[in-house]
Chain A
Amino acid sequence: MAGLATTFGSGAMTNTINELDQSQVILVAGSNTTRTHPQVARRIYNAVDRGAKLIVIDPRKTKIARHAHIHLQINPGTDIALLNGMMRCILDENLIDDLFIEMRTENYLALRDMLLAVDLDKIEKITGVSRSTIARAARTYAHARRAAICYCLGVTQHICGTANVESYANLAMLTGHVEQEFTGVDPLRGQYNVQGACDMGALPAVLPGYQSVFDPDIRKKFARAWGCQLPENQGRTLLDMTHGARNAGLADERPDPLKVMYIMGENPMLSDPTLGRVKATLEGLDFLVVSDIFLSETAELADVVLPAACFAEKTGTVTNSERRVQYSKKAVNPPGEARPDRLIIQELATLMGYPMAYGSAAEIMEEICLLTPVYGGIYHDRLQRSWGLQWPCPDREHPGTPFLHKYSFTRGKGHFTPQHHVDVAEPVTDDYPLALITGRSYHHYHTGTMSRKSALLNREHPRPRVNMNPQDAEKLGLAEGMRVRVSSRRGSVPYILHLTDEVPPGELSSDFHFREAPTNMLTIGASDPIAHCPEYKCCAVKVEVDHV
């Protein structure tokens, strides 16, 4: 998100999901869309049925890549090089949108100078995609009047994730593919309410509505509303928290590890990279509190576990990937003594000497509306009478905003940020000759806490699989269905081998839904310096037969 925030001023999908139906060209990057965003994939297929061209950038031959008119099967982590190649072609063939660049953007000359120095032969070598294919994709994207880019974690989960996103934004601005209906740059947000959690300021550097904690006026506004002083120092990001344990015996510059953690409905013991370090950190805490609906791998380590209500047992709002704030209504009572997290937090705050007395979720929303300009008119009563409202929605009369950046970018002018290729943090070696890419399965969700409790979903995908190209399997003497052990420098995990040409030779792919095969034992903690997104999409591993 940080990448779009610097270039456009707002880190969210610029369009609605339904607009994709009408696009002429759709560029899908680092997204296994049919699996992880089935409704988005449905719109993309609708568009293709109507004659739209589909370009997919992905190292894997995913289902959507098989249906693409042009599949740019790049080497993992080479998006920037590919995009610089595409933009160079667009520049050489004069397919740029001069008027848009002149009126709506800044820093174009820096981008142009960088592109003119680009060596297309070198790009061919880095990306593994031929010059002619890159040029064909560039022309297809640039010629369209309405072209949308959909990207997902394959773009962001790299050490250069922010730079990757900025490069996609460069491409869109160079060709004027922003600001209109059916046209834009759309980060597909993966989880239920990940957009909302960001919007609500569950991030170290921002208060609700992306208002900076470093701005004294903003802090003053919240201090007055909340009746307390607000902290002004930099908070810790997720990885700073869950990777806090210091390496024994090594000189370590990091600050003291945390003493206490409060974790609401998250499972870092499966979801975070380099699980060995996460475990050491959580076990090293003086006190760990977890509220969850199941005894997750993280809750098993806790000192206090609080039983929470699930989505069907409480009323509230959630925000989907297209910024649509929607009303979710309580249907049944929570089991036993379980309570909604709202009541747990209110009671804890009251016990700690800060009374929080909200009678309902609607009352909390009123406070959010008052303090958060982009949510200013999103009251519960309006949501109950509609299919939700898309922010920005500054007041009660505002109808919401289906697509962003009409007439001007949130930050004023769109900012071109030239970027250069960055090598992956852990290239393959003779000892660890394969690159592991992690992703998601169609039948499971995140750490499997919910989906693995579902009989049908578990029946469809009961065992942890690792996908390998048949050519590699033949070389290693492995066969479909064998028990194998995948090892990296950090750990080793057992899987069932699945042979498929979805992954190219030299690469493996797997998911992280299974506690019996915690893929994140293998992954590296190296992360993007700005967004702190770990490099899940590439780490060096080897495969052996598991003789158990």
Chain B
Amino acid sequence: MCGIVGLFLKKDDLRPRLGDLLTDMLITMTDRGPDSAGIAIYGDAADGLKMTIQSATPDEHFDGLEETLTALLRAPVRMRVIDTHAVLTLPEGSEAEVRAFMAEKGIRVMGVGDSMEIFKEVGLPKDVAARFGIRQMAGSHGIGHTRMATESAVTTLGAHPFSTDENQCLVHNGSLSNHNRMRRELARKGFAPQTENDTEVAACYISSRLAEGANLGEALDGTLQDLDGFFTFVVGTKNGFGVVRDPIACKPAVMAETEDYVAFGSEYRAFAGLPGIETARVWEPEPATVYFWER
């Protein structure tokens, strides 16, 4: 199964409530995916580069990390620790050096961007949301996922969203059947998936297409030609939010739009608490059709 939620605000009024609204949407989708949960939230742009990292032993790994990185980069680094995750604010241009440092220490990089932060863990969506304080987070748009694993193990890294390039993330309901071949092709292009998970292959595919110059709509359209299997994808970029379903479209999807927001849910239940949902335009996205919004 799996559950997907997404919320893209068209106006700034609801920004302070983004995390709160997304948390309720995510918890409603618990019975579609109780294994693990994750959320990507596009908040305020940092003064530098934001990197979300994760550790199985945060006490050990995060202790003194801010000072170590500041010394390593000879520039101020800020760190905000949130449970097993931490959000670093790094000087521009330091990504490669910091990634190498994290790889050596065994700290996982969840995502990089100037506004995106990613939090995901094994456990019930309500517990995951509470651990990271998602409810208190503000932002312009965000996507979330509740996972019922089918293709790879229930681990933190197997949880969604997957981020495979700056400010990009993807969540998926379904299963891909040609991910091993795609994995090899993407590795040749420099977008090698880091896990055994099929969804990460789709994230890498979209990142590779965007890197080649495609816009979000074109990249999503490409999934219909190049990826085989069942999928409903919801994708976030710095300014955008996109949705695509495979041509068979057996994975459920529903969308709602008002003057204030565009929302995505695996089921209508996820929308029940949204402001103005009673008068929203609610529809089921068509199969093999790309939808995307950019601000």
The answer to whether A and B assemble together is no
Q: Which residues of A contact B (CB under 8 A)?
A: none
